Amino acid sequence: MSKPLVKPGSPLSAVVTGAGRGIGRAIALELVGHGYQVVVTDLDASAAEATARDIGAALGRGLDVTDPEANRDVAARACQIAPLGAWVCNAGVLVEGDLTALSVDQARMMVDVNVLGVMWGVRAAADTFRDQRGATGGEIGIIASLSAHAPVAGLSVYAATKAAVLSLTTSLAAELHKDKIRIHAVCPDGVDTAMVESMDAGGDVRAALAAGVLLTPPQVARELVDMFGTGRVYKTLPPWRGVVARTASLAPRAAVRIDPLMRKVGARRLRKAGKR
């Protein structure tokens, strides 16, 4: 682990959303290791509290990221522990299926959590950073996705929300720069989490992920936190997948033709893994 970001004797608090498990938990643990007093939040309050105890965080509490005032309440609570130094918007949901197969509630949930939830978190964090006397800005982290860069059949709504979040990140980097607030996003390929595990093992989406690189939550956490204190706005994990994805976005017609081949590769990998 690299040296702590928080100076000894000058503790800062950090909030991580959706941190009861998976990537959020790994980010919270990474921030604890860097000296932050971490507030672990999750829609599942009991999971947040359990994670906080397990990793030595300052506090665990429930948070519905789609509620703007709830985000502000968490920011205020974090400031009672120590001045706010970082906020990570990790909470997200995914429902498999083509747009026409999703219910209205499923589509709306992804937009509400994945896009609006990030907006309300960023706003609560940014306002808090500005209000703190003698503050020198702060760090905002956002979990986007490789799907933000390229067409992903079967995940059209999810991919659209992540593309929106990445666009939001780049615009916010300019908006918040004058306040010395740094914003960073990571766009990982598939990550070995309960979300991915819950996907249909024989489905096209799982096959598409298997054709790429399955990362671990600690890998994503380290890459995000390593950007803190720098001017780096976003990075794709692994980098070569970002190049492939962005190339596909520039030639969507070709990507449509290649996609079935990639899914066949992934399905073959899954079959081989199942035989081991």
Active site residue 234: no
Exposed e or buried b per residue across 144-171, where buried means at least 16 C-beta atoms within 10 angstroms of its C-beta: bbbbbbbebebbbbbbbbbbbbbebbee
Distance from C-alpha of 142 to C-alpha of 156, rounded to nearest angstrom: 20
Give pTM, 2 decimals.
0.86
Going from N- to C-terminal start, the domains of the chain cover: 13-198+213-246
SS3 89: strand
Residue range 13-198+213-246 in CATH 3.40.50.2000: no
What contacts 81, CB < 8 A, 6 or more positions away? 13, 37, 39, 58, 59
Question: CA–CA separation, 210 vs 170, rounded Å?
Answer: 29
Position 122 scores a pLDDT of: 98
Q: Which residue out of 120, 129, 158, 228 is catalytically annotated? A: 158
CA distance 184 to 171: 11
Per-residue pLDDT of the chain (276 residues; tens, 9 = 90+): 455 577 666 699 999 999 999 999 999 999 999 999 999 999 999 999 999 999 999 999 999 999 999 999 999 999 999 999 999 999 999 999 999 999 999 999 999 999 999 999 999 999 999 999 666 789 999 999 998 987 788 899 999 999 999 999 999 999 999 999 999 999 998 888 777 666 665 555 655 554 556 889 999 999 999 999 999 999 999 876 666 666 666 666 655 655 555 544 444 544 454 443
